[in-house]
Amino acid sequence: HNLTMSVIKVAASIGDLSQSYTYSKHLEAVKKITKNPNVNIGSKESLEEEPEYQLILESNRILQDIDEEIVATKYYVAEIYQKKFPELDSLIPNKIDYIRTVKRIGNEMDLTLVKLNDILSNSLVMIVSVSSSTTPGKPLSELDLGECIR
C-alpha cells in the first residue's frame, strides 16, 4: 500500500516543473541576459551582487529540480511498465533512454518490429530484444500504457 501511495504522489508531481511560474520566469531571464549580455560585469562590490551570478545559482537549482523530475518520472514509468517487461529497468541504466524506449516499445510484444537503434546502442538493442523474447510480462491495459507514455 505504501508503494502504491508513493507512486501516486510521484505521478501527481510529474510535469510540475515545466509548467511552473518560477521555471517560466527563469527561462525568460536567461533568454534576456543571453540576448543582452551585461558588459559591466565586475562593477559590483562582490560577485554575489552580480545579476548573472544569481542567475547561475538559480539555474543550478533548476537543473537539480529537473534531475529530480527525471528520476521521479523514470521511477513512475518503471513501476507500471514492469508488468509488461520487468527486465527492461535493469537493462537500460540511463533514465532518459529508458523512458524513450518504453514510449517507443509501448505494448508491442515483438521487438523486431520496433526501431530502437536511434535510442540505444546496437549491443543494447540486441540485449533488450533477446530479453523481451523471454520476458514473463504481459501487455499493459490501455490505462497503464497511457500513464507510461503520456
pLDDT in tens, 29-75: 878 877 877 656 556 667 777 778 888 898 898 888 888 888 888 99
Q: H-type helices in the chain, by residue range?
A: 2-13, 21-35, 51-81, 88-91, 95-105, 122-134, 142-149
- Of the candidate CATH numbers 2.60.40.10, 1.10.287.4070, 1.10.3720.10, 3.10.150.10, the domain formed by 85-150 belongs to 1.10.287.4070
Distance CA 12, CA 121 (A): 32
CB atoms within 10 A of CB 41: 12
Radius of gyration of the chain (CA): 21
- Look up the pTM and report it: 0.75
Q: Which amino acid, one-letter code, is at 123? A: S
pLDDT in tens, 80-127: 999 999 999 999 999 999 999 999 999 999 999 999 999 999 999 999
Distance CA 6, CA 145 (A): 19
Distance CA 147, CA 150 (A): 6
Distance CA 108, CA 114 (A): 8
Question: Virtual CA dihedral for 8, 9, 12, 13, nearest 10 degrees?
Answer: -140
